[in-house]
């Protein structure tokens, strides 16, 4: 969490940094700050709250200079306030930081003993003082940063300026993401790609333990010992427009409506229709290795974990391999039994989630194979996994995940088909039929989006409820969980997802005329069972919002609202039933006037434990 941006070149740094921070606000929005250098004293401006507050300060007191660093904060150490906002300064050293310094109390005590005074409650301020202490002794900015970083424990992505050496900007990374953008006669550095997309598409992804010294003319990448490293840049295919809201009121709505395109891009080039097989370009395992697998673990957090729950159904059904699924923060501490023939699948939109990354390292450390389903090219999880299936959703900016989720489901389905074919569990003909369903899916999702107006009307009817219950069975149970998560994330209404058959063991006690119950009930093997559960809700006065597939005349008069998505095969149905979940949460949140794209207390990329 937290986003950092740095710039060094000939242009005015301040607007470039503010524009970059705007693209990173999804990472945190408790406070924002900037520092520019103009050959004189560092110009620091900071403000509590969202970036707009900082922008207003900059209108009154511009910060000039062609070098600069900026920060948008998700508070860990110290409450959200101006005093705790980055950048932090110690004499001429100014720092922005994303991560957590774990030994900060020990370092703080030592520095206080040496006469340093601290003005914030943050761990970050330690870095500024530590660099300053070393700088005072060695008189070399680069050496001072290297020595200071050698002493800190924890995670960091930092960008640092030095008043006495204004032609240098130094950045380094350990555990938190950092990307370099290469311009002509200028350099950018940021926590994520969209912050730099409107200036360059040539990017270099830093690894842990790497440090960069930038001047306007050159840059040098080294390890912390000072050894030079040669790294190739990558050309990013995302366009700057993909990180803009365009005609949409919110990023979330834009991203919901982008799903047909995102699904089509995730499928493109991966279907071998003639052979009845799947091609996954970065899978990096031979069919023989796939045949030897005896177990699959799926590890993820949040919405990605919900995708994993659906993925378990896909893999067990189509490839007949047992799948264990874990929330990443649980997996890493439970000493899982990972063998060399196990495959651990990490699912992560950002590819930077700290717990998921730790789960990956845990599985690797135990000698297992790893594969990730990831949206961000060359992110930490993508780089460290043995194989990758990229979801081609494009940048997802809204904090509540939408298109990343449905593309994850597609990627997991492709993986299950591939495994099924490689292991002889699925015939070419059966695979071909699934491929046909996949090809038709983007069009069906487009049809589901036509429900937008109907769902907005339903949202009006139910927006004042205090609690919601979401029910589903089988592969629709994760969709019930995801529907409840979406609603609570952005509307702050309490919501629970439950397996429909389990309702009678507890949640049924909650049901009365004030409780809307969203029942996901497409036509499949458990349809009648779920309809019975629906009846149990109605018998107790609960209000039923049913999500069905195709026409269901027998449900006429049995629901308070009926939402009908198009039909597809049962495995792909969760992708279509996700759409009403997203739109219902979105419209309720808009009607309640919450901050849809940046809901309180949340961040999109959670790089702390
Ligand atoms: C945060 C976000 C969620 C996301 C989760 C996992 O909690 O708010 O939307 O699902 O992190 O993120 P990842 O990038 O690993 O998918």
- Annotated catalytic, 372? no
Q: How far is the CA of 356 from the centre of ligand 1 (A)?
A: 10
Q: Are 342 and 368 in contact (CB under 8 A)?
A: yes
Going from the C-alpha of 15 to that of each of 22, 33, 58, the distances in angstroms are: 10, 13, 10
Nearest CA to ligand 1 atom 2: 604
- Tell whether ligand 1 has an atom less than 6 A from the beta carbon of residue 407: no
Q: Which of 2, 301, 374, 431 is catalytic?
A: 2
Report which of 449, 351, 361 is spatially closest to residue 402, judged by C-alpha positions: 449
Decide if pLDDT at 76 tops 80: no
- Tell whether ligand 1 has an atom less than 6 A from the beta carbon of residue 183: no
Distance CA 475, CA 330 (A): 22
Residue 240: which pLDDT band, with cuts at 50, 70 and 90? confident
The per-residue pLDDT for 27 is 82
**Position in ligand 1 atom list of the atom nearest CA 301:** 6
> Would you call 253 exposed, middle or buried from its count of C-beta atoms within 10 A (0-12, 13-18, 19+)?
buried
Decide if pLDDT at 1 tops 80: no
Distance CA 170, CA 135 (A): 14
Q: Which residues make Cβ contacts (< 8 Å) with residue 127, sequence separation at least 6?
A: 88, 95, 97, 101, 148, 152, 156, 158, 160
Token code pair at residue 80: 């959200």
Going from the C-alpha of 359 to that of each of 184, 327, 331, 344, 369, the distances in angstroms are: 39, 9, 6, 9, 12
Residues in the chain: 609
Report which of 324, 268, 308 is spatially closest to residue 404, judged by C-alpha positions: 308
The per-residue pLDDT for 94 is 97
Q: Which residues make Cβ contacts (< 8 Å) with residue 252, sequence separation at least 6?
A: 398, 400, 402, 490, 582, 586, 596, 597
Q: What is the mean pLDDT of the chain?
A: 94
The per-residue pLDDT for 405 is 98
Handedness of CA 224, 33, 124, 140 (dihedral sign): positive
Least confident of 243-252, 478-487, 578-587, 599-608: 599-608
Q: How far is the CA of 77 from the centre of ligand 1 (A)?
A: 21
**For residue 468, what are the β-bridge partners?**
495
Q: Which of 173, 403, 444, 604 is catalytic?
A: 604
Decide if pLDDT at 221 tops 90: yes
Reported as a single tens digit per residue, the pLDDT across 582-607 is 999 999 999 999 999 989 988 887 87
**Can you tell me the mean pLDDT for 527-548?**
94
- Tell whether ligand 1 has an atom less than 6 A from the beta carbon of residue 599: no
**Position in ligand 1 atom list of the atom nearest CA 300:** 15
Least confident of 105-109, 518-522, 554-558: 554-558
Residue 243: which pLDDT band, with cuts at 50, 70 and 90? confident
Decide if pLDDT at 74 tops 90: no
Decide if pLDDT at 25 tops 90: no
Phi-psi region of 114 (alpha: psi -120 to 50; beta: other; left: phi over 0): alpha
Reported as a single tens digit per residue, the pLDDT across 267-309 is 999 998 888 999 998 898 999 999 999 999 999 999 999 999 9
Reported as a single tens digit per residue, the pLDDT across 448-459 is 999 999 999 999
- Of all residues in the chain, the percent with pLDDT exceeding 70 is 100
Q: Which residues make Cβ contacts (< 8 Å) with residue 41, sequence separation at least 6?
A: 163
Q: How far is the CA of 449 from the centre of ligand 1 (A)?
A: 23
**Better-scored residue on pLDDT, 453 or 608:** 453
Nearest CA to ligand 1 atom 5: 302
Decide if pLDDT at 30 tops 90: no
How many CA atoms does the CB half-sphere of 326 hold within 13 Å?
Answer: 25
The per-residue pLDDT for 26 is 79
The per-residue pLDDT for 93 is 97
- Annotated catalytic, 604? yes
Nearest CA to ligand 1 atom 8: 604
Q: Which residues make Cβ contacts (< 8 Å) with residue 272, sequence separation at least 6?
A: 278, 279
Q: How far is the CA of 387 from the centre of ligand 1 (A)?
A: 21
Distance CA 548, CA 274 (A): 33
Decide if pLDDT at 75 tops 80: no
Secondary structure (H, E, C), 413-472: HHHHHHHHHHCCCCCHHHHHHHHHHHHHHHHHHHHHHCCHHHHHHHHHHHCCCCEEEEEE
Nearest CA to ligand 1 atom 15: 348
The per-residue pLDDT for 169 is 98
**Position in ligand 1 atom list of the atom nearest CA 489:** 8
Using DSSP, state whether 69 is helix, strand or coil.
strand
Token code pair at residue 479: 């969709």
DSSP 167-195: T-EEEEEEBS--EEEE-SS-EEEESSGGG
The per-residue pLDDT for 163 is 97
The per-residue pLDDT for 39 is 84
Distance CA 101, CA 152 (A): 6
Decide if pLDDT at 167 tops 90: yes
DSSP 229-261: -----EE----GGGGS-TT-SSHHHHHHHTHHH
The owner of tokens 């009006």 is 460
The rounded Cα 460 to chain-centroid distance in angstroms is 29
- Tell whether ligand 1 has an atom less than 6 A from the beta carbon of residue 348: yes
The per-residue pLDDT for 28 is 80
Token code pair at residue 211: 């440090």
- Tell whether ligand 1 has an atom less than 6 A from the beta carbon of residue 303: yes
The per-residue pLDDT for 111 is 95
**Can you tell me the mean pLDDT for 356-365?**
96
Residue 195: which pLDDT band, with cuts at 50, 70 and 90? very high
Distance CA 273, CA 435 (A): 7
- Tell whether ligand 1 has an atom less than 6 A from the beta carbon of residue 381: no
The per-residue pLDDT for 430 is 96
Q: To test ligand 1's pocket by mutation, which of 401, 407, 482 has the most ligand atoms within 8 angstroms of CB? A: 401
Q: Are 500 and 468 in contact (CB under 8 A)?
A: no
């Amino acid at each position: 969490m937290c986003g950092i941006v740095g710039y060094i070149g000939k242009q005015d740094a301040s607007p470039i940094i503010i524009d970059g921070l705007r693209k990173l606000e999804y990472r945190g929005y408790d406070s924002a700050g900037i520092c520019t250098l103009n050959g004189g004293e560092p110009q620091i401006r900071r403000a509590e709250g969202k970036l707009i507050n900082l922008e207003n300060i900059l209108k009154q007191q511009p910060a000039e200079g062609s070098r600069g660093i900026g920060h948008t904060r998700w508070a860990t150490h110290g409450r959200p306030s101006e005093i705790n906002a980055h950048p932090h300064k110690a004499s001429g050293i100014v720092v922005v930081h994303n991560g957590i310094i774990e030994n900060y109390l020990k370092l703080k005590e030592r520095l206080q003993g040496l006469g340093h005074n601290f003005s914030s409650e943050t761990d970050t301020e330690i870095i500024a003082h530590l660099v300053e202490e070393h700088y005072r002794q060695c008189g070399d900015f680069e050496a001072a940063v290297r020595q200071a970083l050698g002493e800190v424990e924890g995670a960091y992505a930092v960008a640092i300026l030095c008043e006495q050496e204004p032609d240098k900007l130094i950045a380094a990374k350990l555990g938190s993401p950092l990307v370099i953008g290469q311009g002509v006669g200028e350099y950018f550095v940021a926590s994520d790609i969209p912050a730099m997309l409107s200036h360059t598409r040539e990017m270099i992804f830093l690894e842990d333990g790497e440090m960069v010294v930038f001047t306007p003319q050159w840059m040098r990448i080294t390890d912390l010992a000072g050894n030079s490293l040669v790294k190739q840049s990558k050309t990013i295919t995302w366009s700057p427009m993909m990180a803009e809201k365009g005609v949409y009121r919110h990023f979330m709505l834009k991203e919901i409506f982008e799903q047909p395109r995102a699904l089509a891009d995730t499928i493109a080039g991966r279907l071998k229709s003639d052979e009845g097989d799947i091609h996954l370009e970065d899978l990096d395992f031979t069919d023989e290795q796939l045949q030897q697998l005896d177990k699959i673990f799926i590890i993820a957090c949040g919405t990605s974990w919900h995708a994993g729950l659906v993925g378990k159904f896909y893999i067990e059904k189509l490839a007949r391999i047992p799948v264990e699924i874990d929330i990443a923060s649980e997996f890493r501490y439970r000493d899982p039994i990972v063998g060399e023939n196990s495959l651990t699948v990490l699912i992560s939109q950002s590819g930077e989630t700290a717990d998921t990354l730790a789960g990956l390292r845990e599985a690797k450390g135990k000698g297992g194979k790893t594969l990730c389903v990831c949206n961000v090219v060359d992110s930490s999880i993508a780089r460290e996994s043995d194989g990758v299936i990229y979801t081609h959703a494009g940048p997802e900016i809204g904090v509540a995940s939408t298109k990343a989720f449905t593309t994850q489901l597609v990627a997991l389905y492709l993986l299950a088909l591939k495994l099924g074919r490689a292991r002889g569990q699925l015939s070419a003909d059966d695979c071909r039929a699934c491929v046909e369903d996949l090809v038709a899916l983007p069009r069906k999702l487009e049809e589901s989006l036509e429900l937008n107006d109907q769902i907005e009307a339903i949202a009006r009817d139910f927006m004042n409820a205090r609690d919601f219950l979401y029910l589903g069975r089988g592969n629709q149970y994760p969709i019930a969980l995801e529907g409840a998560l979406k609603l609570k994330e952005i509307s702050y209404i309490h919501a629970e997802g439950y397996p429909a058959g389990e309702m009678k063991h507890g949640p049924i006690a909650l049901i009365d005329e004030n409780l809307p119950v969203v029942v996901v009930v497409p036509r499949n093997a458990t349809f009648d069972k779920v309809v019975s559960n629906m009846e149990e809700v109605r018998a107790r006065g609960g209000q039923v919002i049913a999500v069905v597939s195709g026409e269901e005349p027998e449900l006429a008069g049995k629901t308070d609202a009926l939402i009908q998505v198009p039909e597809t095969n049962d495995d792909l149905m969760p992708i279509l039933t996700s759409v009403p979940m997203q739109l219902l949460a979105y419209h309720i949140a808009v009607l309640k006037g919450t901050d849809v794209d940046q809901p309180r207390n949340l961040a999109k990329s959670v790089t702390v434990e």
